Structures are given as structure tokens and as C-alpha cells.
Structure 1
Amino acid sequence: MSAAPRPRRETVTGVPRRAIGSGVRGSRAPQYAPARSEISEQTSLGATYVRSLMRSQLRTALLGLGALALLVGTLPLLFLLPRVLTGALPAPGPFVWAALGVVVYPVMWLIARWYVCRAERNERDFRGLVEGR
């Protein structure tokens, strides 16, 4: 009752082929994207690529922060509106909570959602540039 020896495993390697139906036969995609090597070698062109990503992310952050500051900055004016309309100082009641709950928080959520989507799109565009797509 001896066990038969296991067959030796072999790994077949070769030149990577392009996807089926990709077009020209015999041509291969470059092994690396030029922009990726520029960034990894820390050349001035690579620094320019990274600086452009950082600039677009900063622009997105400043736009989101500006929209948030505009929203929060107008709250005192919104809270003064009942006083101007009635001429008396109203008690901080349902109007303040309605303004905060119905107006401010959903708009803050929309600003945050816009910021995340925009930042992801900036990174996706940068990745496409670096990978040569």
C-alpha cells in the first residue's frame, strides 16, 4: 500500500498577451506607463503631475469649505428673519430647529457628498493619467 509519487508541478510562463479582440497582433502594451515612472523617479515632470493632483484636490476642498461657510454664515441672518418680520424678539423655538434640521443638515450632507464624489473623480482622473488610459 504505497502511495504513488505526486506528479511534479510545472509553471508555464511566456510573454503576456493582450486581451482577446484588442486589435493589432504582435504588438504589446508598454510594460510601464511613462507618467508612473516619472513620478516614481521624482523627476520635475512627475512633480508637476503630483502638484496638479494636489491643486485639483485643494480647489475641490476650498469650494466645499466655501459652500459650507456660506451656509453656516447665513444662519444668523436666517434667525433674525422672524425678528424683522414681527418686530419683536421671538423665542428660539420650532423655527430654529426647523431651520437647522430641515435646511442645514441636508445641505451639509449634500456638500459632503459632492466633495467626496469630486475628490474620487480627481483621483480617478489622475490614476488614468498615470496608468496611460
Structure 2
Amino acid sequence: MDEQTTLGHTYVRSLMRSQLRAALTALGALALLVGSLPLVLALPAPEALVWLALGVGVYPVVWGIAHWYVRRAERNERDFTGLVER
């Protein structure tokens, strides 16, 4: 935005709010994942199963959260650009 107008300020604040909302959602999902790990470790399960859950099960979920966040942030920016260019 070239001009610092009230409308431009409102658009930028809207973009920042939507980006913050996406970041907090991703952070909450990650916190739930990491917060549940002590419960997984406390279960009476074979050690191999625990290591499998930690070593293989966590990473696809983290990747999925990261992938969702990047797609959401790009969509927010694309929507913002479309709104400003109109």
C-alpha cells in the first residue's frame, strides 16, 4: 500500500489478524500434539511401540500442521492482494 490511509490501515490489520489466527491455530494443534506425548510415554506398552509412536507417528502430524499453516498463510496473502488490487 502506497498511501497510509484509514482504509489501508484497516486492510493491513485484517491481514495481520487472519495471519495471527492461523498461527495460533497451528500452535494450539502443535501444543496438543506435544502435550499428549507424556500420556503416550506413560502407557504400559512395549518400548518399541513407544519409540515407533515418537519416531514415526509425530513427524507426519507436525508436517501436516506446517503444511496447513503455509497454505493458509498464502491464501490470506492472496486474498489480501486481491482485495487491495480491486
Same fold, judged at TM 0.5 (above): yes
CA RMSD of aligned residues (A): 1.3
| Runs of 4+ in structure 1 over 3 Å off | none
- Counterpart-to-counterpart distance in 2, 1:51 and 1:40: 15
Pairwise CA distance, 1:44: 1.3
Greater RCO structure (CA 8 Å; 6+ sep): 2
Partner AA of 1:46 in structure 2: G
% same residue: 73
What SS does the corresponding residue of 2:44 show, helix, strand or coil?
A: helix
Partner AA of 1:70 in structure 2: L
**Gapped runs of 5+ residues in structure 2?**
none
- Counterpart-to-counterpart distance in 2, 1:82 and 1:113: 33
TM-score (norm 2): 0.92
Richer in helix (by share): 2
CA-to-aligned-CA distance 1:69-108 (integer Å, 9 cap, x gap): 000000001111117xxxxxx7xx3123201122111100
1:118 aligns with 2:72: yes
Partner AA of 2:80 in structure 1: F
- Whichever of the two has the greater Rg, that structure is 1
Q: Which residue is equivalent to 1:60?
A: 22
